[in-house]
Amino acid sequence: MLTDCITAPTQQKLNQLQDELSQIYPCKIKIHKLDVEIFKDAPLWGDNYMAYLRLKIPDILPDNLERCLYLDVDMLALKDLRILFTLDLASYCAGVVYDFAFQHKRILETKDINKYPNLSFHKEYFCSAFMLLNLKTIRKIDFWQKAINLMRNYKLKFADQDVLNIIFANKVLKLNFTYQVHIGIFTHVLSIKTLNDESENWDLNYTRAEFEYAKANVTIYHYSSPRKVWADAFSCPHFWRWNIYDPFCDTNKQLKYAYNLWWKMALCTPIFKNELLALKFELERLDLEYYALNLSNKLYTKDQENQKQNLILSEKVIKLENENKTLQNEIINLKQTKGAALRAQNQLAYKLGTTLMSYSKTKFFYLNPKFYLTLLSIKSKHKKSKKAYENLIFSNPSFKLPLLETYADYDEALKVQNFFSYRLGLEFIKASKTWYKGGLVKFYFKAKNLKKEFKKKKV
């Protein structure tokens, strides 16, 4: 075990644990206490330097020890690991499990480009949480001095892991992914979409078969993300935001299985099981509390959204009611005894005809874009008014206008329909419908003939 400090009571409990475990299989728990001041040139990992302690493994272990299996504290071994010590590491520095693609795509930036160049990571970038170290080889490459140089002169994003990957580049033996199955792969936190046999732009440097085999035959679980098993849910802010965990819903069986398995093993641990049980109860209490808080926040947010939508809908209803009142007033006005002539003048033919007559007083009016925009605007407004009227009488048939013949000024309406402007508008509407057959060209001549016809009537 690597640590920077340990209390006497904990040391005593570990000694008791050693005795209990030795009854099952002979073992010894050795505590290596290190001074973290030697890592002061490196950036903190979290809020401490503990991750860097593994860089001292080649120095603190006996020289006659040639191999060491290092595991992070957030890992759970499910099978016998002794087979690892039968592997032929040859001249490799370590047997490792490759990490995710975003790691090797990074650049290790120097603190001073004038003194040291930026460095690139190799595609064999591995996660330092699991390492089968070949101490014999590592001790031959001036490892510690190289590590100090990197810690002092480079911007380490992933602490000691970046250091190890630079020093061990091209000197690692690829091991099965089953030796380090991140539980995050069972969620969208560590989304693995493509493997190295599916795309050149892969997410993980393993084949699809290797990846699926590892998920189904886990040797070691790595509880790296989305949260540590012994931490409460809100220690990982995105835990709830990503909807990964719900104590009342079986939303992710594989994730829950991994968490429950860890606790099953933890509660079987001699000496510490009572403390761990108390921690489990406390976490369950906090989970329930956080779940209630999270649910309350969601309901509040939803309520705010509903209130906002209701306000928008209310404003729309008020607007429609006002438009409806305006239309009703217009209809009431049209329903007066004398309204036939006004209705005739409100027809599209009359509106277009008067506009055509108005523009025709100007030379080359047909070259003026405003002329065509005006005609289009008249047609568009008329279409909207007609649609609004149809919707109104559909919802309330009593608003339907009476026939023109029923108005007292029906004769005046007939006169309007015989105006030159009205007739001109009718011809223009007909021509517009057959423009692709030369309708507008024909309209030019019909307009001339219509003008002559009205001149003769005046004579």
Contacts of 34 (CB under 8 A, 6+ apart): 2, 3, 4, 53, 56, 60
> Where are the extended beta strands (E) located within 197-351?
220-222
Residue 176: closest CA among 225, 215, 227, 223: 215
Domain definitions of the chain by residue range: 340-457
Task: Provide the token pair at 427.
Answer: 């011809």
What is the model's pLDDT at position 244? Answer: 46
- In Å, the largest CA–CA distance within the chain is 130
> In this structure, what token pair is assigned to residue 457?
């009537």
Indicate the residue type of 209: A
Q: Report pLDDT for 241.
A: 47
Q: How far is CA 221 from the centre of its chain?
A: 27
CA atoms of 302 and 296, how far apart (whole Å): 10
Burial class (CB in 10 A: 0-12, 13-18, 19+), 283: middle
Amino acid, res. 107: I
- The token duo for 110 is 């120097």
Q: Which amino acid is at 169?
A: A
Q: What dihedral do alpha carbons 428, 432, 436, 437 form, nearest 10°?
A: -40
100 secondary structure, DSSP code: B
- Any idea which residue has 């909207």 for tokens? 384
3-class DSSP string for 393-414: HHHCHHHCCCCHHHCCCHHHHH
Q: Residue 83 and residue 265: Cα distance in Å, rounded?
A: 22
The HSE-up count of residue 93 (CA atoms within 13 Å, CB side) is 21
Q: Evaluate whether 451 touches 427 at the Cβ level (below 8 Å).
A: no
| DSSP letter for each residue of 201-222 | S-SBSS-HHHHHHHHHS-SEEE
Distances from the Cα of 11 to the Cα of 6, 162, 276, 331, angstroms: 7, 32, 17, 94
Considering only CA atoms, which of 198, 233, 224 is closest in space to residue 212?
Answer: 198
Query: Mean pLDDT of residues grouped by 10 in the chain (459 residues)?
Result: 94 96 95 94 91 96 96 96 96 96 86 95 94 98 96 96 97 97 78 84 91 95 86 61 48 82 95 95 86 83 93 91 81 63 86 87 80 88 89 84 81 86 88 83 83 77
H or E element, residue 127: strand 126-134
Tell me the one-letter amino acid at 183: I
How far separated are the first and last CA of the chain, in Å rounded? Answer: 119
Whole-number Å distance between alpha carbons of 139 and 68: 13
The whole-angstrom separation of Cα 132 and Cα 180 is 12
**Cα 300 to chain centroid, rounded:** 22
Query: What's the burial of 333, exposed, middle or buried (CB within 10 Å: 0-12/13-18/19+)?
Result: exposed
How far is the C-alpha of 215 from the C-alpha of 71, rounded, in Å? 19
